[in-house]
Amino acid sequence: MIEIIQKPISPELVVNKVKTDSSGCVVTYIGLIREYSRGKQVLSVEYSDTEGKAENRL
């Protein structure tokens, strides 16, 4: 499942989308952004890519 969205992600909803009765397990990863990087406070994070290109790469 690959989906690019611009809203918060609910891990529970993602798991419910991909699990089946025969699933042994579903593994997810949640990354947290550090408060400081290179001595400066991180205020925001932005990801961008040409529309449609990210899906092809993934």
pLDDT digits 0-9 by tens, 7-50 = 888 989 989 998 999 988 988 888 889 999 999 999 998 877 77
- pTM for the model: 0.51
Task: Tell me which H or E stretch contains 57.
Answer: helix 53-57
Tokens representing residue 48 in the block? 């961008």
Closest residue by Cα to residue 28 from 19, 40, 38:
19
Q: Where are the domains of the chain?
A: 24-57
Q: Which one-letter DSSP state was computed for residue 24?
A: S
Tokens representing residue 12 in the block? 């529970």
